[in-house]
Structure 1
């Protein structure tokens, strides 16, 4: 029998189904095969199908900062699909070097925003795709350093940055800062922003603030589409929290949640979560959970990564180490799942100087529209950093296998 006589080509629908199960970087490579595949894999229908499939298997995104070296690394790992999974692989994505100063990064709908990055010949805010490494720098607000948060409007599909009462729409061309016309901005002189990162939920950006006189917690709410600012009373947190850094803002089933972790009186770890049940009435509901005893969790420093769509509260070890673990607490069943994330490696924590601080982000979904975003034009791996100490810049080797 002649070779190839019974060769049967696969149906296009089946091929597209296979492509939807690949990482976005692999899809990008297959687009270069031919004009036909470039057109097919760039089509809106395929992008929508890919997003649907990706949403069904969300990932845990890790942003790792090695501040002694002015380095940021981005990794991701699958989230467990069942309670029996005890280990999951880690995938490296990209890295950049640049002095980020003291301002924490902000995340919204697949993009990372750094309010202030010092790179060669410029000091600007920066927005990037942590999976592909594509980025663009943004203009500084007036003469001051930006310290804003990133938000996303799912209706108009627009990213915007809020810095106090100034707004910048992230788009191709030359974006410019502008002041909001909301009358509530007059209240800004009564509040100061806390250092906690903001969170965007269903097109609304939230961040934590405190009053200057008789300090009390408030939540600043910003509707990304209408650009309307509101202030939500959060004085329920006053008697339970000593410092704002103890609090984490989370998306709790589509509602704003605030979580505080502390040691329980009877031993172990206690999670206090306040959920904003009704924005109009500003009604908060408090839940207190005592986590089941776990030798690994009880012996390490950890941070709240968020609340998964499944309702599990996700905790991550604060520093890179080997082995490294993430923890999934189910408040309904009162169960704690300890999952080893394999791949950080021993080199990250060989010394205190080399270890990295880990920021976890739950339910990360790959979106091909972000890969093709017109405003992201440069590769973050080509960034040249500017050392704030010696003011010397240079191109760095970005081989993760050699440097980590």
Structure 2
């Protein structure tokens, strides 16, 4: 495939201060035996909002802006792709981490300012799965902690209000094994689960995979049956499930300690055709979906190295590399469903000090709303880790 000189994404974006951005959370895992481990660095870059008119073979360049380097003392926040050991969430400008199962202290932070709050201790058997939601009516953030499905413990919820923070018990009609991070859309938190190994006499389950729908305001659960393992995204304000035609439940495949990266390296055909399926939930009550299929080939797109970050407001689906090392360029990809074209954007400015591959979590549509996320709750200000020398002043070529 032909290539040409990189073009700065800044040249295609006007009024950057008012446009959504990509948020990158890069974590350097530390020694799990230490008192603290896991250093998180937050960056953001301009987000491409409109289809690029020129040839998709052109590589764009976006400058990453460094915000904060973050590692509160005595909190184990190493990243792990296995949801049993690390839950991450992002909603309305705030970032949520629930880390190591042996010290399960959830953390809420503003990834731009570094202000944070460590939530009350939450005892769990093995690792409770955690989610973060926002109610736009009452303007309340809530953390939802679900008990491990085959062990003791109770589901609990916490409302992030000023004053005393307390975990409260909450009942869910079905037991389930969680299979995804959460996606919060218009006050409803969605996540995928598997009920095949659970006894659920009190609720009729017609399929193994179920989407849990949690109304953040009313704190009620409802459920949507789905046919297979998939991922969930916010697609133009609606819930969408997205999957590759040859997708597998990698959490099940890697249940006994198999590294996900190793599994993909060994099992995913590098020459596989990218057959993407997107189902958009049009009617929640009737559970009616619009179903779309997209197929493309691109020798710059290596599926085993990327994860699905979400979709922009204009409907472009964003894929991001899930590892970063200074030895290789870091890319995000924008897939335009209307034109069925793929646009590659190189993110520059992360720096040179990440000698080992670091995990990267990428979130779309980041807009900082100080009216919402500058809560009194976030009273703690992390002693700022100095801007690393390896983080260059962001300038695009």
TM-score (norm 1): 0.71
CA RMSD across the alignment: 2.9
What corresponds to 1:188 in structure 2? 174
Q: CA deviation at 1:300?
A: 6.4
C-alpha spacing 1:117/1:210, structure 2 compared with 1 (3 Å): closer
In structure 2, stretches of 5+ residues that fail to align are 1-14, 31-36, 79-84, 147-154, 199-206, 248-268, 393-397
Bigger mean CA offset, 101-110 vs 127-136: 101-110
Return the offset for 1:118: 8.8
CA distance in structure 2 between the partners assigned to 1:157 and 1:54 by the alignment:
26
Which of these residues, 16, 39, 45, is aligned with residue 71 of structure 1? 39
Whole-Å Cα distance in 1 between the matches of residues 350 and 391 of structure 2? 12
Q: What is aligned with 1:172?
A: 162
Q: 1:297 and 1:347, CA in 2 relative to 1: closer, same or farther beyond 3 A?
A: farther
Match of 1:337 among 337, 343, 347: 343
- Work out the number of aligned pairs and report it: 316
Matched, 1:109 2:69: no
Q: 1: CA distance between counterparts of 2:272 and 2:104?
A: 47
1:59 aligns with 2:21: yes
Farther-moved stretch of structure 1 (278-287 vs 326-335): 278-287
Residue in structure 2 matched with residue 125 of structure 1 by the alignment: 106
Q: In the alignment, does 2:328 pair up with 1:328? A: no
Whether the 8 Å CA contact 1:210–1:218 is kept in 2: the answer is: yes
Sort the Cα spacing of 1:296 and 1:127 in 2 relative to 1 into closer, same or farther, 3 A.
Answer: same
Q: Distance in 2 between matches of 1:256 and 1:81?
A: 19
Distance in 2 (alpha carbons) for counterparts of 1:55 and 1:206: 30
Deviations 1:307-328 (A, max 9, x none): 1111000001121143211111
Higher Cα Rg, which structure: 1
Report whether the alignment pairs 1:230 with 2:187.
no
Deviates more, 1:257-266 or 1:337-346: 257-266
Asked if 1 retains the 8 angstrom alpha-carbon contact of 2:104 and 2:124, the reply is no
- Which protein is richer in helix relative to its size? 1
Distance of 1:116 and 1:355 partners within structure 2? 19
2: CA distance, partners of 1:159 / 1:126:
13
Shift of 1:299: 7.7
The answer to which of 321-330 and 363-372 deviates more is 363-372
Deviation, 1:107, is: 1.2
